[in-house]
Amino acid sequence: MVPLMHTLPEAAARLQLNERYLQRRCQRGELPHIWVARTYRFTDEHLAEIIRRLEAETPRKSVPRPNLGDVTHLVPRKPRGPNRRSRKSA
């Protein structure tokens, strides 16, 4: 029996992922897929493997913001005046 193959939109819907995200990961070769007739196809085994790989990935750590220390010495900028049109010399 031939396994059922899902298209990219179908696979993204089943995995609850963005289509573009899934496409980019497949383009880079990071996720299992089959390339048939210039389209991505996924079997049920591929979808199960994608879920396993996504579970194994660690979430990104947020980048700590730099400590600016005491910023009370900074003076706020004065608001700019209205834009002046350039004057043509006569």
Q: On the CB side of 40, how many CA atoms lie within 13 Å of its CA?
A: 22
78-79-82 Cα angle (round to 5): 135
Give the per-residue pLDDT at 79.
72
- What percent of the chain has pLDDT above 90? 54
pTM: 0.60
pLDDT of 17 strictly over 70: yes
What 3-state DSSP class applies to 49? helix
Mean pLDDT of 79-85: 70
Mean pLDDT of 31-37: 94
Comparing CA positions, the residue from 46, 42, 52 lying closest to residue 10 is 42
43-33-31 Cα angle (round to 5): 120
